[in-house]
């Protein structure tokens, strides 16, 4: 794994994100401070009638493409006219060390039921007092993957065309993982894991399960292949996936907007 590990310049990333979010008039709430830096939640609300999108990354510190993709997304001159909730760096100590876990050796993305860690306890409390999002997008990487894949959790009517459109968009720049079994899950179609709104391990909820349990109607967890593609290609794949998911909102996907 070490041969393809990339460690972010975390202070520089914080400076870049601060500048980008300020440029787009986002409000910041620091929900927890670690020795490596704060966990900041950024928000921008445009209309009560607009859908709300929640975007998160950096919960595993050895997955740098997600935070960099968020910086690239908000580096654009124009943003989608939705209400935004964004947490780009959920595990500062892990990102500083290039480690999946936090400084105490705990996987934050398994703690959303018990909330043992102060990072997750503070983050989950912030989510619960925020507007419930219509769409949750979580940016991850997989060290063992051969290509891009994603988890979908949907509480509403099945819409396979939405997932296929997303995969088609990403496939223009990155291989879709061809395996019939990914991370212990059967795929519905190549690159697409359609997951139930319950955890594989009842006492260890990831963020996506927590979001489903509080009523977020649709979530995608995007996974790019840490070792099978260069960093910038993985960042671009995350951007393509985000853009495709956002087009579902722009097309007036009634099930997401409920």
What pLDDT score was predicted for residue 250? 73
Residue with tokens 């690159």: 191
Q: Is the pLDDT of residue 57 over 90?
A: yes
What pLDDT score was predicted for residue 32? 98
How confident is residue 3, by pLDDT bands cut at 50, 70 and 90? low
What pLDDT score was predicted for residue 2? 44
The stretch 139-167 carries a mean pLDDT of 95
Q: Is the pLDDT of residue 255 over 70?
A: no
What pLDDT score was predicted for residue 4? 80
Contact 257, 219 (CB under 8 A): no
Could you tell me the end-to-end alpha-carbon distance of the chain, in angstroms, rounded to an integer?
A: 42
Domain count, the chain: 1
The CATH number covering residue 210 comes to 3.40.630.10
- For the chain, the average pLDDT equals 94
Which 3 state secondary structure label does DSSP give 220?
strand
Q: What percent of the chain has pLDDT over 90?
A: 91
What would the two tokens of residue 82 be? 């939705």
Give residue 109's domain range: 2-257
DSSP letters of the chain? -GGG-----HHHHHHHHHHHHHHTT-EEEEEEEETTEEEEEEEE---TTS-EEEEEE-SSTT-THHHHHHHHHHTSS---SSEEEEE--S-HHHHHHT-SS-TTS--GGG-TTT--SHHHHHHHHHHHHSPPPSEEEEEEEETT-SSBEEEEEESS---HHHHHHHHHHHHTTSPBP--SEETTEE-SBTTEEE--SS-SSTT---HHHHHHHTT-SEEEEEEEETTTS-HHHHHHHHHHHHHHHHHHHHTT-HHHH-
What pLDDT score was predicted for residue 25? 97
What pLDDT score was predicted for residue 158? 86
């Amino acid at each position: 794994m070490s041969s393809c590990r990339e460690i972010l310049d975390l202070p520089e990333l914080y400076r870049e994100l601060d500048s980008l979010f300020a440029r787009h008039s986002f409000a910041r709430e620091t929900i927890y401070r670690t020795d490596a830096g704060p966990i900041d939640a950024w928000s921008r609300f445009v209309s009560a009638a607009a859908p709300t999108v929640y975007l998160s990354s950096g919960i595993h510190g050895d997955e740098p493409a997600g935070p960099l993709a968020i910086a690239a997304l908000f580096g654009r001159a124009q943003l989608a006219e939705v209400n935004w909730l964004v947490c780009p760096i959920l595990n500062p100590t892990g990102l500083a060390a290039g480690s999946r876990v936090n400084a105490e050796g705990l996987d934050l993305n398994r703690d959303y039921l018990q909330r043992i860690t102060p990072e997750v306890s503070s983050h989950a409390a912030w989510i619960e007092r925020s507007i419930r999002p219509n769409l949750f997008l979580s940016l991850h990487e997989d060290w063992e993957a051969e290509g891009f894949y994603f988890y979908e959790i949907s509480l509403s009517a099945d819409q396979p065309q939405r997932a296929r459109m997303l995969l088609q968009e990403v496939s223009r720049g990155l291989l879709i993982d061809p395996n019939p079994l990914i991370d212990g899950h059967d795929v519905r179609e190549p690159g697409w894991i359609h997951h139930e709104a319950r955890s594989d391990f009842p006492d260890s909820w990831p963020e996506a399960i927590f979001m489903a349990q509080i009523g977020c109607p649709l979530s995608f967890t995007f996974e790019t292949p840490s070792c099978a593609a260069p960093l910038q290609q993985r960042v671009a794949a995350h951007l393509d996936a985000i853009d495709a998911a956002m087009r579902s909102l722009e097309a007036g996907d009634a099930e997401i907007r409920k």
